[in-house]
Structure 1
């Protein structure tokens, strides 16, 4: 029987994902945060002021759960809400000075952890990996 490369690729991808996810969770928890907290702060750190919907789409957390996390981060003075002047239904979320300072401290360390995961992998291999994973993701969404 011949080797099913699609199945093998899937299994390897899932094992790699689990391993990477555990490493990232460990890094984030070392800063006293949960993954959802960090994801929201990171999105605001890199994209600036966002609506709850924009944050939800960026970090793949549903809007019901995201409101709870935002409330907790707001209570810690890491982010703040502001109303849209043109549409009262829209509320923007942005980092406070304290939140920005925290991310300026944490994010470079987090980025280093990610970079260490890819040590020994050439830029060309990374580009190929990105291309292949995007292709598989798009095919999955189409089906």
Structure 2
């Protein structure tokens, strides 16, 4: 038998040849003191500015004033926070909040992905989708 090999994977040390934890299995908690788009930390030298919360039932998104305005005005994708190049056609506008989303981001952020999500006339972003209510069983 060979010696165990220590290997760093996703910030954890694995005692073996094969990694136990992949780099994608570690879920990182969102920072509660910095903008999730630009990384600007708060509070800033006694400033009264604070992070703004993007309305969502599914995720916690904290943004500085400038990044919040960019998302609300549909200048950046509300999922990945990247700018939309001029003349780009690969996006969808949410019918409820008017935020803009890259088509490629839709399949990454919607857990129950279906091609009906790409219907531009009826698109609802992940932040506006209601949380489904679980049916309760009648116990006798």
TM over 0.5, yes or no? no
- Per the normalisation by structure 2, the TM-score is 0.27
Higher strand share: 2
Higher helix share: 1
Asked which structure has the greater CA Rg, the reply is 2
